[in-house]
Structure 1
């Protein structure tokens, strides 16, 4: 992709985001520093900076850049945060969050996606992202607590197993399946042992699939 096209795409995205009230300078800088075309399959390069979702390997997809930015903005990241991401996908959101935080641990059930995302982090010299192949449906043991948890596979109800890994004051956002097959992004803030839930907006995420993939 010619560099001028990437600049134009980024500028157009900024205008769309500002219209939605998203204007955090640290977030926009992190996105600008993360070459989205490196995460986009060649046949969809022309849509890299669009708001449409883009198919990637293993039947997965990467969010349109607008949605990715909105969700990261909702996390209100700080530079001392430890972040857990469930669903690495292309690795784009992990790369952006890594530029804004201390450490990102991201997991995916597909070995292919883990390998590809790892190669992209190496190419961009991003050293504070740990990528693992793991079962996202069963929690993550032995890693302590996190300041933020970002889930990109839908659960039938709020995944308490992950909510319990939040620090007090921590935030988790996750897509929750509702009646009629709708899926809504939900934000959960932990205060002591209580959780405050805020429903955000409808999204189109695939249901969580247990166990790691054996073939892909």
Structure 2
């Protein structure tokens, strides 16, 4: 009989090792903001990945979730969060709840997080995790994210986790002066780019950050 590996001999030590590699991967991909790294260390990605992919929760890769969607690559989550530059008094709108992982990280950094998704099932599953984590500053709801949340606007920060051909007008208008929006822009079957939009006193400033690939931003509610 051969001895098992260190993760088989001590599962807790193995988990700690995977989490350490996880944080190292974030830093090596340019996630250097201490607050963002701390938030991502606090939020266990393993809670947001189910089924056969759960064992890969701490790898730096996107993974499938319900409704044909994905949980984003952790380094991309970190870079988007870092670019958003969330302050402790900020109110944040997230378009595309997905697994709830990104919203849970934002909840560590902001005063209030609103997150919407077109898939009711994803919203229900994310709400359950938020309750387990006692994230009382997150409000999740099923809605057409392309129109934002006008009743709660304006927002200090807006994060979009699905790609549009152009930044949606309603979201731009719901951004406070001085506010920041981070989103992928481009057609779903071509190269997309992560864009940082800052609302200044005389208009919007755009900064291209890096190439990415996200699911498309789709209008309307899903069937699940």
- The interval holding the TM-score normalised by the smaller chain is over 0.9
Matched, 1:181 2:164: no
Matches within 5 A, 1:28-177: 28-177=37-186
Q: Structure 2: any 5+ residue segments left out of the alignment?
A: 1-6
- Output the CA distance in 1 between the equivalents of 2:67 and 2:175: 29
Answer yes or no: is the 8 Å Cα contact 2:123–2:141 preserved in 1: yes
How far has the Cα of 1:20 moved from its partner? 3.3
- Output the CA distance in 2 between the equivalents of 1:149 and 1:179: 21
String of CA shifts for 1:119-160, please: whole Å, max 9, x gaps: 000011110000000011223221121111000111111212
CA RMSD of aligned residues (A): 1.7
Answer yes or no: is the 8 Å Cα contact 2:31–2:37 preserved in 1: no
Change (3 A) 1:95 1:66: same
String of CA shifts for 1:24-77, please: whole Å, max 9, x gaps: 222122112112111011311221111111000000000111111111111111
Paired residues, what number? 215
- Output the CA distance in 1 between the equivalents of 2:106 and 2:148: 21
TM-score, normalization by structure 1:
0.94
- Output the CA distance in 2 between the equivalents of 1:111 and 1:3: 34
Matched, 1:210 2:219: yes
Q: Structure 1: any 5+ residue segments left out of the alignment?
A: none
TM-score, normalization by structure 2:
0.90
Q: Secondary structure at the match of 2:121?
A: helix
Of residues 5, 17, 21 in structure 1, which corresponds to 2:30? Answer: 21
Q: Which residue is equivalent to 2:3?
A: none
Moved over 4 A (4+): none
Q: Secondary structure at the match of 1:200?
A: strand
